[in-house]
Homo-oligomer: A and B are copies of this chain.
Amino acid sequence: MEKKLSHSEENYLKEIFHLSGELHEKVSTNALAERLNAKASSITDMLKKLGEKKLVSYQKYKGCSLTQKGEQIAIYIIRKHRLWETFLVNKLNFGWDEVHDVAEQLEHIRSVKLINSIDELLNFPKYDPHGDPIPDKDGNINYMESKISLSETAVKSKVEVVSVDEDSMALLKYLDEIKISIGTILTIHNRISFDESMEVQIAGGNKMNISKKVADSIGVRFKSKI
């Protein structure tokens, strides 16, 4: 009954989960193709297969979404991914820009005992090194409340960095350089309307300019007005 899925199938489920977002929106073939670095025709093939396995609900030309079973598996893969990333950073001193690629491999290791032991070793962390929530053993995900993008914050507000987009190594390295990490407190001083960049200041540091693109990929939580 419980057949093993291939790495590829697991990756598809994971990516559908990410693309469908919290509202469980339908995911288009092309969107998946881009994220999975494959051609649309390959996606169609796989969606048919996952459809037959009842992991995805799929109708021609209408996009796809995860079934309950498919979502459960996706969440489990994400749990493993984020726990491994946390392990690499907390126990092996990897940088937060070095963990994603390895976690992409480790997330496919099949051993419930192993991942639960790692969880315990790390003391049941709630967030991974990029601020993403780690699903618990039962698949519950604690999304951080009142999190918004830095690019949406009002001038004069004071916020705490709680997450960053993990996709780009270049971004993570850049954030290291400008000393922004999870927990950093930022004061928003100004927004330049010409290019939508922002002037922000790290507590006790100099003001600096942050491009729209960077601000978009930083998640923050409101702290207080100045």
Binding site for B on A (CB under 8 A): 88, 91-94, 98, 101-102, 105-106, 109-111, 113-114, 117-118, 121
Complex contacts, A117 vs chain B, CB 8 Å: 92-94
- Closest partner residue, chain B, to A105 (CB atom): B109
- B residues less than 8 Å from A109 (CB atoms): 102, 105-106, 109
Asked whether, in the complex, the Cβ of A110 is within 8 Å of the Cβ of B114, the reply is no
**What's the dominant secondary structure at chain A's contact region?**
helix
Complex-state Cα separation, A111 to B92, whole angstroms: 13
The 4 A-B residue pairs with the shortest CB-CB distance, nearest first, are: A92-B117, A102-B111, A105-B109, A102-B114
A105 close to B113 (CB less than 8 A): no
Count of identical protomers in the assembly? 2
Q: Which residues of B contact A106 (CB under 8 A)?
A: 109
Q: List 5 A–B pairs whose Cβ atoms lie within 8 Å, in order of A's numbering.
A: A92-B118, A92-B121, A105-B109, A105-B110, A109-B109
CB distance from A120 to the nearest CB of B (A): 8
CA A98 to CA B117, docked complex, whole Å: 13
In angstroms, Cα B121 to Cα A118, docked, is: 14
CB of A173 to closest CB in B, whole Å: 16
Tell me if A92 and B105 are in contact (CB < 8 A).
no
Given contacts A94-B113, A102-B111, A105-B110, 16 further A-B pairs with CB under 8 A are A88-B114, A91-B121, A92-B114, A92-B117, A92-B118, A92-B121, A93-B117, A94-B117, A98-B113, A101-B111, A102-B109, A102-B114, A105-B109, A105-B111, A106-B109, A109-B109
Which chain B positions have C-beta within 8 A of A101? 111
CA distance A114 to B110 in the complex (A): 18
The interface residues of chain B lying within 8 Å CB-to-CB of A110 are: 105
CA distance A93 to B93 in the complex (A): 22
A109 CA to B113 CA in the complex, in Å?
A: 18
Q: Bound complex: CA of A189 vs CA of B182, how far in Å?
A: 64
**Max chain B Cβ within 10 angstroms of own Cβ: one of A106, A111, A118, A121:** A111
Residues of B within 8 A of A105 (CB): 109-111
